[in-house]
Amino acid sequence: MAQEVLAAMAGDIWKISVEVGDTVEEDDEVFVLEALKMEIPVYAPCDGTIAAIKVKKGDSVEEDEVLAIIE
């Protein structure tokens, strides 16, 4: 079952730590957002494989926007 990785808050994509096909475990860091001059890590919500990445470095995202899909 697919699980979405969501942005914790509005900000800019600072770092993407994974690629499509990578295996992740729950709580692995998958993205870093920059918001209010702070780096906010975004963690995998479950174990699985990165099926899709919906953003690229530098993109602005809103809170709860889908950043990636884990299967």
Give the count of domains, the chain: 1
Question: What pTM was computed for the model?
Answer: 0.93
Name the 3-class secondary structure at 4. strand
Scan for tokens 């730590």, then name that residue: 17
For residue range 31-45, list pLDDT tens digits in order.
999 998 999 999 999
Domain with 22, as residue range(s), is 3-70
CATH number of the domain encompassing residue 19: 2.40.50.100
DSSP code string of 13-68: EEEE---TT-EE-TT-EEEEEEETTEEEEEE-SSSEEEEEE---TT-EE-TT-EEE
Instruction: Tell me the pLDDT tens digit for each residue of 14-70.
Output: 999 999 999 999 999 999 999 989 999 999 999 999 999 999 999 999 999 999 999
